[in-house]
Amino acid sequence: MSFISIQDVCFSYEEIEEGKHVTNAVDGVSLEVEQGEFVAIIGHNGCGKSTLAKHLNALLLPDSGRVLIDGDDTAVEDNTYAIREKVGLVLQNPDNQLVASIVEEDVAFGPENLGVEPSEIRRRVDAALRAVDMYDYRGHAPYRLSGGQKQRVAIAGILAIQPQCIVLDEPTAMLDPSGRQEVISTLLKLNRTQNITVVLITHFMDEAVLADRVVVMDSGKILTQGTPGDVFSQVELLKKHRLDVPQSAELIHKLRGCGLQIDKIPLTQEDCVALLEEAMR
């Protein structure tokens, strides 16, 4: 049994009435995610990524179909608490997530709600704030922070819950290049060393290439999925669906159009340099 099992889920924000056609924000999605997997979800604005993400910790419940977390159905109310302990969701807008008037209280909020020992809370809060490089701001008021700083505090708040799975809805949208890199390496580290399942929603293709699997959504449905190598070699398909590829892939794709013979589209700077060096020697 997969850790996350999404089975033919449909969800609409509209009222369902007799004889009225409703548009589904999530439209028949089935997806299995194993414990310890790192999955990236990409897709155009409004394709249903956030809506799907909110199904993973029972913030939204399917109109039809089911979502099972570690075997538990999210639609069963008695499961909600256990599910939220297992799956931490970092919302798209950090302002919706920050609740307390001091940064460290905010980060402590999650573990406090779960009844964690005070000394353990202290330890987790400090570790989480250090992981996102916001320890020096622990006494500040969240509303006084810059956009990127708020986003990092919101991530720390989820890290402190120590869930088995972290779902992040565009966590790096407001970060500078090194902040982005720090968040992504923190996620990779949690995934590799603690086997934490990561579901990362992003519009940055250079982040998606680091995942084990990339899921491409389009208009509420899953368009395609596979390893980053498989998905990002479909340059034309991605562009047709409002997506993109890393600059390295873009460059090689263009050169391929002029006859350059290559087997594999490079997804990283290093691969691209190696490929071009080889071609020009």
Partner 1 sequence: MSCVLELKNIGFTYGKGTPFEKRAVDNVSLHIEQGEFIGVIGHTGSGKSTLMQMLNGLIRPTDGQVLLDGRDIWAEPKKIRQVRFKVGMVFQYPEYQLFEETVYKDIAFGAQNCGLQGDALDRAIRDAADFTGLPPALLDKSPFDLSGGEKRRAAIAGIIAMNPEVLVLDEPTAGLDPMGREVLLSQIVRYHKERHNTVLLVTHSMEDIARVADRIMVMNKGRLALFEPTREVFRKGDTLRGYGLQVPQITRIMQDLRRRGLDVPEGVLTVDEAFAALLPLLQKEGKLW
Ligand X SMILES: Nc1ncnc2c1ncn2[C@@H]1O[C@H](COP(=O)(O)OP(=O)(O)OP(=O)(O)O)[C@@H](O)[C@H]1O
Q: SS3 breakdown of the chain: % helix, strand, coil, rounded to 5?
A: 45, 20, 35
112-131 mask for partner 1 (x: CB under 8 A)?
--------------------
Identify the DSSP state of 249: H
Binding mask 82-101 for Mg ion (x = CB under 5 A): ----------x---------
Q: Which does 197 bind (CB under 5 to 8 A by kind): partner 1, Mg ion, ligand X, none?
A: none
Q: Assess contact for 205 and 43: CB atoms under 8 A.
A: no
Contacts of ligand X in 86-105 (CB under 6 A):
92
Question: Which two three-digit tokens encode residue 109?
Answer: 């909020």
**Residue ranges of the alpha helices (H) in the chain?**
49-55, 80-86, 103-113, 118-131, 147-159, 177-194, 205-208, 228-232, 235-240, 247-257, 269-280
Binding flags for ligand X, 46-65, as an x/- string (CB under 6 A): xxxxxx--------------
**The one-letter amino acid at 215:** V
The residues binding partner 1 (CB under 8 A) are 13, 43-46, 50, 92-93, 95, 140-141, 144-149, 152, 170, 173-180, 203, 205-206, 239, 242-244, 246-248, 250-251, 254-255, 258-261, 269, 272-273, 276-277, 279-280
The residues binding ligand X (CB under 6 A) are 13, 25, 43, 45-51, 92, 144-149, 174
